[in-house]
A and B are shown apart, each in its own frame.
Chain A
């Protein structure tokens, strides 16, 4: 019996990297745009224009990933 370990390993690696990467990037995006109502320790990194545009870049990356996902489904 032949088990395709290489493919399984690939699926594992790709899934892990992409999931963690996407979630991380999206979380950074949320951090950049979410209002700060709760008392936070690191108030220094405020929601300046820089943080905001960085957040939008993060969201754009995630949108691109979703687009690629749709492309994979269709193709």
Chain B
């Protein structure tokens, strides 16, 4: 840890802040349906996810090595200021989408930020357009389709197999399976996303001449990146969890299991075969697929539409913010300072805005009971109209989510 200038220090801190936002932005991927089906209590779910993210961060450094040498041409003169501007853009976009409760890809925000900042201060030549299309655009389109279809087929199959069985009898088994799948998603997320931050910090260290190019991230980088993502995960992005777990569709234990297993499979298959798909899009897609797979299941397309719009905007929006930041940061030390102050100001403003209508885990817990009790009338009515009873629960079964803790609340609500 020698010769770390103030600027590099700022970049490292910013990268860790990004890692933190990445953590709480993406908790929902692994845990949203796990929480909404009642497989795990909200706090337990995020704690488990945090631990697995931390463990995942230590498992491998393969991803960290590639991020610094892929989309952006390092030899074209990447300076710490550019990385700093890119990170600020990514953080701002992550916070904005969190405020709106929309799951968007943190990796795309990071790529967008870095691309925008690079274009502004180095030029278009330093960005590998081919790699952008290959690694960002195609996966973004393909991920929800692949995951959605897999989860849809799996949901159909599991409902067909479990025909004639009471949902209450099978729910326990499905929940157990879902916890295992969610754990795999969390672990994979830790190995992927914590490493992206490690890669960025290493990139900054390389750019500042602290470590040699193409070297492994130092140990303290791995530890701090792992801790930052775990802390973010533990605090939990309850807004996004609410959208994915409840807003997009109504998830029952069987669907949650199918969705989560589909997500875990697609993530592992894609990273293993070498066609990396974005975790966020995979998880959202599989949840929608599972939602459609149940007879009488509905997907709220307006929410889905807003989500898809956020996906499309992520890259350019983060790039735009980062580009502006890069323009300012290039002015010298005062510019970097101004970007830092502005970034802090915007973050504080977003946080204040979020306090007006906070969404906490208690909220999620109690809303669970209410949401289970109230729309159940609509849902079960639709179910009975559309599908024969074995496909779904009968009216009383629908409102019974048999957690001991929630039972009184549900009773009070109904």
Contacts and interface: CB of A to CB of B under 8 A. Distances in A.
A18 B257 CA distance: 14
A37 B138 contact: no
Contacts of A19: 150-151, 153-154, 258, 261-262, 265-266
Interface string B256-270: 011001101110111
B65 to A, nearest CB: 15
A40 B149 CA distance: 30
Given A19-B153, A28-B161, A35 B257 contact: no
A15 B269 contact: yes
Nearest to B173: A30
Residue in A3, A27, A74 whose Cβ sees the most chain B Cβ within 10 Å = A27
Q: How large is the interface on A (under 10, 10 to 19, 20 to 34, 35 or more residues)?
A: 35 or more
A24 B158 contact: yes
A40 B191 contact: no
Main secondary structure of the interface of B (DSSP, over half): helix
A70 B173 contact: no
B180 A11 contact: no
A49 interface: no
A12 B158 CA distance: 20
A11 B164 contact: no
Given A11-B275, A30-B162, A34-B165, A73 B56 contact: yes
B173 A15 contact: no
Given A3-B138, A37-B169, A15 B164 contact: no
B268 A69 contact: yes
B310 to A, nearest CB: 24
A14 interface: yes
A19 to B, nearest CB: 4
B269 A34 contact: no
B144 to A, nearest CB: 12
Interface string A34-49: 1111101110000000
Interface in A33-75: 33-38, 40-42, 62, 66, 69-70, 72-75
B269 A20 contact: no
Contact of B258 (A23, A28, A62, A73): A23
Nearest to A35: B169
A18 B134 contact: no
Contact of A4 (B134, B147, B155): B134
Interface in B131-167: 133-134, 138, 142, 146-147, 149-151, 153-155, 157-158, 161-162, 164-166
A20 B266 contact: no
Given A2-B130, A12-B146, A15-B150, A31 B184 contact: no
Given A1-B130, A37-B169, A38-B169, A20 B59 contact: no
Contact of B142 (A8, A20, A30, A66): A8
B173 A33 contact: yes
Contact of A37 (B164, B166, B184, B268): B166
Contacts, number: 141
Interface in B194-237: none
Nearest to B390: A41
Contacts of A22: 154, 261, 265
B341 to A, nearest CB: 40
B388 to A, nearest CB: 12
B277 interface: yes
A44 to B, nearest CB: 11
13 contacts: A7-B273, A7-B275, A8-B142, A11-B277, A18-B265, A23-B155, A23-B158, A23-B262, A31-B165, A37-B168, A62-B180, A69-B268, A73-B268
Interface of B: 56, 59-60, 130, 133-134, 138, 142, 146-147, 149-151, 153-155, 157-158, 161-162, 164-166, 168-170, 172-174, 177, 180, 184, 187-188, 191, 254, 257-258, 261-262, 264-266, 268-275, 277
Report, nearest first, the 10 A-B pairs whose CB atoms are least far apart.
A38-B166, A30-B173, A23-B154, A19-B150, A7-B275, A34-B169, A15-B266, A19-B262, A27-B161, A27-B158
Given A23-B157, A62-B177, A62-B180, 10 more contacts: A7-B273, A11-B269, A15-B147, A15-B150, A20-B150, A22-B261, A24-B161, A27-B161, A34-B172, A38-B165
